Amino acid sequence: MLLVDDQELFRRGVKMMLASDGGLDIEEAGNGDMALKLITANPPDVVLLDVRMPGRTGVEICAAIKAISPTTGIIMLTASDEESDLYESIKSGASGYILKDGSTYDQVVEAVRLVAAGQSLISPSMATKLLEEFVHMSRPQGPGTSLTVRELEVLRQVARGLSNREIAAELFISENTVKNHIRNLLEKLQMKSRMEAAMYAVRSNLVGDES
């Protein structure tokens, strides 16, 4: 796992907190350039990334990370509750958005676990804002346009919040097949994260539609 924040004291505190949970190999980066070098050399499963940093913004770094390592899960751990930061982070590929203020140790650890398992997590105070944004989004294609039957099935399970492993068990396919379907459907829908795809599925009334 990689922790990216320009405040050294904050990084050290979070690192100690997560390390105490056991089993986590945690690297640190104080800026985006350093983070990208580390990710290029050894892509992590999860990145904890601040939105507001000197130089390149967290949103820019998020997009760059996904370009280098599409399978890396990114959690924005930030003090910013600005709607624009939330929207742009999700659109750039973030799988989670956690506020520094008000988040507990358990919530941060749970976010890391969920994103590492292929799921998404967002601070409850930001969830309504995100849903409202995607309810008002408009895309050129109709619900599920161009998706195969299997891709639609996988998308429905993503919208239910299932991990790749759970989707594989539900549909009797391998986890690698699930990953391939998710990659393909994101490309077809011109989206960068499974969270964005899940919101799209809810908005398009695809959840629960088994026809």
- Give one DSSP letter per residue of 5-29, joined into a string: -S-HHHHHHHHHHHHTTSS---EEE
- What is the per-residue pLDDT for 107? 83
| Mean of pLDDT over the chain | 83
Average pLDDT over residues 29-57: 91
Q: How far apart are CA 35 and CA 68, in angstroms?
A: 11
Which domains are delineated in the chain? Answer: 2-127 (3.40.50.2300), 136-203 (1.10.10.10)
Q: Which of 13-17, 42-46, 64-68, 120-124 has the lowest mean pLDDT?
A: 120-124
Asked if residues 156 and 207 have their Cβ atoms less than 8 Å apart, the reply is yes
Edge-first strand order for the sheet with 27-29 is 27-29, 2-4, 46-49, 73-78, 96-99, 121-122
- What is the per-residue pLDDT for 209? 44
Is the per-residue pLDDT at 138 higher than 50?
no
Q: Take residue 202 and report the two structure tokens written for it.
A: 């809810």
Percent helix, strand, coil in the chain, to 5, is 50, 10, 35
Q: How far apart are CA 71 and CA 67, in angstroms?
A: 10
Is the per-residue pLDDT at 63 higher than 50?
yes
Look up the pTM and report it. Answer: 0.68
Is the per-residue pLDDT at 58 higher than 70?
yes
